[in-house]
């Protein structure tokens, strides 16, 4: 999405360790008008897929997931991060390794909010190595829900998670795919007119 790519070029900052800091419009301060446009694009891409629920992971996926769920007219559920969640009768739990923080954490969702056979669109702000997305898919697998795909605001294509999951058959659509961050400069995967 061209407007998102322009915003990344204009406001994003490349920090050591392949970090793309976009906290002026996505992670801390939010340009909700831009996110609403991204949500509209997600709706356009998945409108024929019978989406019944939107699933995201706290914290920074919540706003765009809520805006997306509103377009589809379906509920949104956010999985919670905990340092150590126990399996229980009430919730599904999965484990996610964070390369950024170099530790494992757990994510969980109440069983009553993920239903067998329900068609679920996963929405998140970032996709890098794909570990968080795999954790969300694992929650859906435990629930017997049907993942119709993943809609991502910014994918760091060079970290490989998106392409690995595409290779496993998951439909992954990203509003912007960063192919490289060389010398502080962001390069996008497609230079097309307006993906």
Residues that bind a copy of itself (CB under 8 A): 23-25, 28-33, 35-36, 58-59, 62-63, 65-67, 69-70, 73, 75-78, 80, 109-110, 112-113
Q: How far apart are CA 86 and CA 106, in angstroms?
A: 9
| Residue 1 or 32 with smaller CB distance to a copy of itself | 32
Q: How far is the CB of 173 from a copy of itself (least distance, A)?
A: 20
Of 170, 154, 164, which is closest to residue 26 (Cα–Cα)? 154
Q: Please give the span between the terminal C-alpha atoms of the chain, in angstroms, as a whole number.
A: 5
| Residue 29 or 190 with smaller CB distance to a copy of itself | 29
CB-based contact 133:127 (threshold 8 Å) = yes
Q: How far is the CB of 146 from a copy of itself (least distance, A)?
A: 17
| Residue 78 or 126 with smaller CB distance to a copy of itself | 78
Q: How far is CA 79 from CA 14, 22, 138, 195, in A?
A: 28, 22, 12, 29
Element holding 88 (H helix, E strand): none
Q: How far is the CB of 36 from a copy of itself (least distance, A)?
A: 6
Q: How far is the CB of 73 from a copy of itself (least distance, A)?
A: 7
| Residue 59 or 87 with smaller CB distance to a copy of itself | 59
Which tokens sit at 69?
């769920």
CB-based contact 177:155 (threshold 8 Å) = yes
Which tokens sit at 168?
């496993």
Q: How far is the CB of 68 from a copy of itself (least distance, A)?
A: 9
| Residue 125 or 165 with smaller CB distance to a copy of itself | 125
């Amino acid at each position: 999405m061209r407007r998102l790519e322009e915003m990344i070029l204009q406001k994003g900052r490349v920090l050591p360790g392949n970090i793309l800091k976009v906290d002026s419009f996505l992670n801390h301060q939010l340009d909700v008008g831009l996110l609403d446009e991204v949500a509209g694009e997600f709706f356009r891409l998945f409108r024929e897929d019978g989406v019944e629920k939107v699933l995201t992971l706290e914290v920074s996926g919540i706003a765009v997931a809520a805006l997306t769920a509103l377009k589809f007219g379906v509920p949104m559920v956010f999985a919670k991060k905990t340092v150590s969640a126990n399996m229980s009768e009430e919730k599904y739990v999965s484990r996610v390794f964070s390369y950024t923080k170099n530790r494992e954490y757990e994510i969980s969702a109440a069983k009553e909010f993920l239903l067998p056979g329900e068609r679920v669109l996963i929405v998140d702000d970032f996709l890098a190595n794909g570990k968080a997305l795999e954790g969300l898919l694992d929650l859906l697998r435990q629930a017997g829900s049907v993942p119709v795909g993943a809609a991502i605001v910014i994918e760091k294509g060079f970290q490989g998670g998106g392409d690995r999951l595409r290779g496993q058959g998951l439909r992954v659509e990203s509003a912007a795919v960063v192919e490289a961050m060389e010398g502080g400069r962001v390069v996008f995967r497609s230079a097309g007119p307006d993906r």
